[in-house]
Amino acid sequence: MQLKHALMIGSVWLAGTSVAQAGWVIEQVSVASNAKGVASPAEPASMRVSQGRIRLTQPSAITVQDCVKGRFGLLVPERNTYWSGTIDEYVGELYSQPSAHNPRKLLSADREVKADPPPKIDEATLPKIVIRKTEEQEKIAGYDTQKYLIESNGKLFQEVWLTTAINLNDDLDPKSYAACRAKLSTGMRGASAQDFNALYLSPEYLEFAKSGLALKTITHHIAGSHSLEVRSVSRADVPSSDFELPSTAKKVPLAEVFGPPVGR
């Protein structure tokens, strides 16, 4: 099983009444392009944010993340299967996925997860992150934005269009969110893993994120690029039930949430 980096946000254990809470609803679309610039079909996504919790609904999966409790989960509606646990457990299982250097470990869904511990990040070895403001401005989703370039060790890593007209700070503490993203990025593999690790641990990036909301982001990597653009963002009463999953869903190991591993 290969989990996309886009599946960054999730948890499935949150209980409680379905009381509406102040929050945000963000509709967005993502497009992946290969190294030759050939784009894949656009993929819609809907994000709901409230009280440090984030639910991201995509065509193939639903993820919910609790940045207050440090919880994470992933639901595949088509199979009615899910995985849930702490962010550390998620990263540990993700890092234990099959690779040329890591034979798969069978994990039982009905017992405590025993995956590899999350890998340690040596911040001294991370690339240097620099954020540069450009003169370019653009109206996106009805808001004025300013374009910024984020460089990793002198190479373009991200293009970000930021609006200062809105931010989610009251519902999603930037420091807690950055800490969650930093933990999640430790489970990444590939050439861009260190860039993401450096980005989410960067004090400069944290201050940048506090200043507004990114309405468009293009991330560049060795295999091409990935763009994420907000189409609409609005205040909304987000019920607690949005952060719960159907009780009929079946819990499975992370390696099997999208289907049984090859050979089983």
The 3-state secondary structure of the chain, one letter per residue: CCCCCCCCCCCCCCCCCCCEEEEEEEEEEEEEEECCCCECCCEEEEEEEECCEEEEECCCCEEEEECCCCEEEEEECCCCEEEEEEHHHHHHHHHCCCECCECCCCCCCCCCCCCCCCCCCCHHHCCCEEEEEEEEEEEECCEEEEEEEEEECCEEEEEEEEECCCCCCCCCCHHHHHHHHHHHHCCCCCCCHHHHHHHHCCHHHHHHHHCCEEEEEEEEECCEEEEEEEEEEEEEEEEHHHHCCCCCCEECCHHHCCCCCCCC
- Structural domain that includes position 50: 20-118+131-256
Establish if 175 belongs to a structural domain: yes
Walk along the chain (264 residues) and give the pLDDT tens digit of each residue.
344 443 433 322 333 333 445 899 999 999 999 999 999 999 999 999 999 999 999 999 999 999 999 999 999 999 999 999 999 999 888 877 654 334 444 444 444 445 566 667 888 899 999 999 999 999 999 999 999 999 999 999 999 999 999 999 999 999 999 999 998 888 777 778 899 999 999 999 999 999 999 999 999 999 999 999 999 999 999 998 999 878 899 999 988 998 775 445
Q: Which two three-digit tokens encode residue 183?
A: 């933990």
Report the domain count for the chain. 1
Establish if 1 belongs to a structural domain: no
Establish if 5 belongs to a structural domain: no
Establish if 7 belongs to a structural domain: no
The Cα–Cα gap between 68 and 187 comes to: 20
CATH number at residue 139: 2.50.20.10
Establish if 98 belongs to a structural domain: yes
Q: How many residues does the chain have?
A: 264
* The predicted structure's pLDDT at residue 114: 55
Q: Which residue has the tokens 């950055």?
A: 178
User: What's the CA dihedral at 230, 87, 151, 220 to 10 degrees?
Assistant: -60
Establish if 4 belongs to a structural domain: no
Establish if 12 belongs to a structural domain: no
Q: Which residues contact 259 (CB under 8 A, 6 or more apart)?
A: 1, 79
Establish if 14 belongs to a structural domain: no
